[in-house]
Amino acid sequence: MSATHSPLQRQVPKSASITICKRLDGSRFRVWRRVSLSAAMLVVGVGAVAAIANGPDQEVVPRYQEFTDSEGRFANFNTGGPTNTKKNAFFEDLGTNGRRCVTCHQANEAWSVTPGHIQARFEATRGTDPIFRANDGSGCPTQDVSTVHARREAYSLLLNKGLIRIEQNVPENAEFTVMENDNPYGCNSTTAISAYRRPLPATNLPYLSTVMWDGRETLKNADGTFKPVTADLAQQAVDATTGHAQGAVPSPEKVQEIVDFETKIFTAQTHDHDAGDLDDDGAEGGARALSKENFFIGINDPLGGNPTGKAFSSKIFTLYNSWSHIDDRRYNERTAARRAVARGEKLFNTLPIPIIGVAGLNDALNMPTINGFCGTCHDTPNIGDHSVPAPLNIGLADASQRTPDLPLITVMCNATGKITQVTDIGRAMVTGKCADIGKFKGPILRGLAGRGPYFHNGSAATLEDAIDFYNTRFNLQLSRRDKEDLIAFLKTL
Ligand code: HEC
Ligand code: HEC
């Protein structure tokens, strides 16, 4: 593990020590010991409390760094690094409430934040860590946060699912009216609508075709063409500072610093408990290989949007090709797991999916059934997001999927009188269009294991849950082995 070589690696053992606190299995304990042996002298005196805030604490984001997650280890490859966190605005307190970008985008959580770590931060600080701020960390800013008990209540969505409140006004020209907003936390305005969303990872960003779950930070030039993603990210950094951190607009230099940093980080799983090193025996997993992928807007677009004119291929992932033909004579303790990963990759690439009722696809193509694949919606080779901005409604915000911790918003389309109930209005809060109700982007599928729960509202606690959703939603009738293989594959991304 090259993560152990830098003298500034305080955060590696600290992260591992969180794992110890949670009393996980023996293999993770081995990782801890291996790290701690080489770094023990550096961490004497670093206790569990310091461990919890490791992201904001670390002095350097090195060029290459590994962290443990529930499936093994993931790596951050900082192609611009090492980065001194004391001198980069991503880690700086630019606002008024103590929030920094790193508060919600942490190196050891694949540049998102995860409930286990958020809970540890709550316990260590009695709910006063800067992530616990009433403006958007709580269910509604009007909730009581004066006692530990009250804070545990008010921040329940953040603690349980890692969700942040995003408030948007219904656009003035909207084709719809919000009739009712049944919000469990009291934010029941019908004009300023609260949604609850997972922090998308601030990594692998050069591969984005659209920024934010609803694409609201994706900007166009006057002639209708898209601005480069760096322009989107600059605007995003301004909005995150004025919004999440309740600060003034940061200077262009600070914004540039943030964008320079976040666009040079690449994150991927690098070691799997069962399959071992993910770049072993011809495989191409891991963050270094990821940083070298080719990308342009429209690469492999399934609807003919590839500017090179090349046809769509459903073969999206080619990382574990070589593991699909491991010779029996070379069978060892990793082989069964590696074959499962390879089978899962093949399923991702070839499993037929009858796509029905997906707004953004079926209606756009005027086809009641599209014979698709996972890659029809996750088409960017070896990355897995959509290669053009393509907001889609796969039904996650439907009333039928509502859990009591989420709002239920009743929306009427003015022209038709049609009523729709959703837990999040999605893209339509940006465009005002009825057709965009419940639409979200398909996010990058790398570094998944380190950043659950999944989907915009954290409704899938695990990758198993995500596969179960697809199995039901598209009536896939997956066998037990197919499910296990797909999950084994997704865990290695
Ligand atoms: C309070 C938590 C919080 C803080 C602080 C925060 N973010 Fe985020 N970030 C989020 C959430 C939640 C989303 C997704 C929101 C959505 O899509 O509606 C997000 C999305 C993003 C994305 C979009 C990635 C993608 O795939 O589209 C980037 C980039 C990002 N944040 C960078 C930053 C930067 C830079 C800062 C500091 C200036 C910052 N964030 C501060 C919570 C936070
Ligand atoms: C019809 C389009 C479509 C198909 C087919 C599809 N996805 Fe998705 N996927 C999406 C969209 C859109 C999202 C984001 C949805 C949301 O959060 O509201 C998503 C999200 C995900 C996520 C969660 C990522 C995260 O960071 O939260 C995973 C994992 C995933 N898809 C895996 C798959 C797999 C595996 C398949 C094939 C079995 C598949 N998808 C098929 C459109 C699709």
pLDDT, tens only, 438-475: 999 999 999 999 999 999 999 999 999 999 999 999 99
- pTM for the model: 0.91
The average pLDDT across 280-303 equals 97
Ligand 1, atom 29, residue with closest C-alpha = 202
202 Cβ closer than 6 Å to some ligand 1 atom: yes
Atom of ligand 1 nearest to the CA of 217: 27
Q: Give residue 408's identity as a one-letter amino acid code.
A: L
236 Cβ closer than 6 Å to some ligand 1 atom: yes
Which pLDDT score, from 0 to 100, does residue 464 have?
Answer: 98
- For the segment 185-226, what is each residue's pLDDT rounded down to a tens digit? 999 999 999 999 999 999 999 999 999 999 999 999 999 999
166 Cβ closer than 6 Å to some ligand 1 atom: yes
Structure tokens at 420: 């729709």
Count the alpha carbons within 13 Å of 168 in the hemisphere toward its beta carbon. 22
Residue with tokens 């022209």: 415
Which pLDDT score, from 0 to 100, does residue 55 have?
Answer: 52
Q: At what angle do helices 480-490 and 463-473 cross, to 10 degrees?
A: 130
The average pLDDT across 28-45 equals 33
The average pLDDT across 373-394 equals 97
Q: What end-to-end distance do the CA atoms of the chain give, in Å?
A: 18
Give the closest ligand to the alpha carbon of residue 447: 2
Count of all residues that appear for the chain in the document:
493
Mean pLDDT of the chain: 90
101 Cβ closer than 6 Å to some ligand 1 atom: yes
299 Cβ closer than 6 Å to some ligand 1 atom: no
Question: How many other C-beta atoms lie within 10 A of the C-beta of residue 365?
Answer: 12
The average pLDDT across 376-387 equals 98
199 Cβ closer than 6 Å to some ligand 1 atom: yes
Count the alpha carbons within 13 Å of 306 in the hemisphere toward its beta carbon. 15
- Cα-to-centroid distance, 231 and ligand 2 (Å): 26
Cross-strand bridge partners of residue 271: 73, 277
In whole angstroms, what is the distance from residue 273 CA to residue 156 CA? 31
pLDDT above 90 for 435: yes
Ligand 1, atom 35, residue with closest C-alpha = 237
Count the alpha carbons within 13 Å of 378 in the hemisphere toward its beta carbon. 20
- For the segment 311-365, what is each residue's pLDDT rounded down to a tens digit? 999 999 999 999 999 999 999 999 999 999 999 999 999 999 999 999 999 999 9
DSSP class of residue 174? -
**Pair 393, 361: CB distance under 8 Å:** no
- The pairing of strands 176-182 and 408-413 is antiparallel
pLDDT above 50 for 30: no
In whole angstroms, what is the distance from residue 68 CA to residue 51 CA? 14
Q: At what angle do helices 252-262 and 229-242 cross, to 10 degrees?
A: 120
Mapped onto helix, strand or coil, the DSSP state of residue 372 is strand
| Positive or negative torsion for Cα 237, 239, 243, 246 | positive
In whole angstroms, what is the distance from residue 107 CA to residue 189 CA? 36
Q: With cut-offs at 50, 70 and 90, classify the pLDDT of residue 429.
A: very high
- Strand (E) or helix (H) holding 364: helix 362-365
Which pLDDT score, from 0 to 100, does residue 179 have?
Answer: 98
Ligand 1 site-directed mutation target among 61, 96, 97, 101, most atoms within 8 Å of CB: 101
Atom of ligand 1 nearest to the CA of 211: 27
Ligand 2, atom 37, residue with closest C-alpha = 374
- Cα-to-centroid distance, 45 and ligand 1 (Å): 33
Atom of ligand 2 nearest to the CA of 392: 12
Q: Answer with the residue of higher pLDDT: 122 or 39.
A: 122
Find the range with the poorest average confidence among 24-33, 231-240, 272-281: 24-33
- The pairing of strands 60-61 and 72-78 is unpaired
Q: With cut-offs at 50, 70 and 90, classify the pLDDT of residue 10.
A: very low
Which pLDDT score, from 0 to 100, does residue 284 have?
Answer: 98
Mapped onto helix, strand or coil, the DSSP state of residue 107 is helix
Beta-strand runs (E) in 7-71: 60-61, 64-69
Phi, psi of 378 (to 5 degrees): -120, 70
**Pair 134, 127: CB distance under 8 Å:** no
**Pair 118, 131: CB distance under 8 Å:** yes
Q: Answer with the residue of higher pLDDT: 338 or 44.
A: 338
Cross-strand bridge partners of residue 194: 167
pLDDT above 60 for 74: yes
| Tally of helices (H runs) and strands (E runs) in the chain | 17, 13
Residues with Cβ within 8 Å of 234's Cβ and at least 6 positions away in sequence, in order, are 255, 256, 259
- With a Cβ cut-off of 6 Å, ligand 2 is lined by 348, 353, 355, 358, 361, 372, 374, 376-378, 392, 394, 396, 440, 442-443, 445, 448, 454-456, 466, 470, 486, 490
Residue with tokens 């598209």: 474
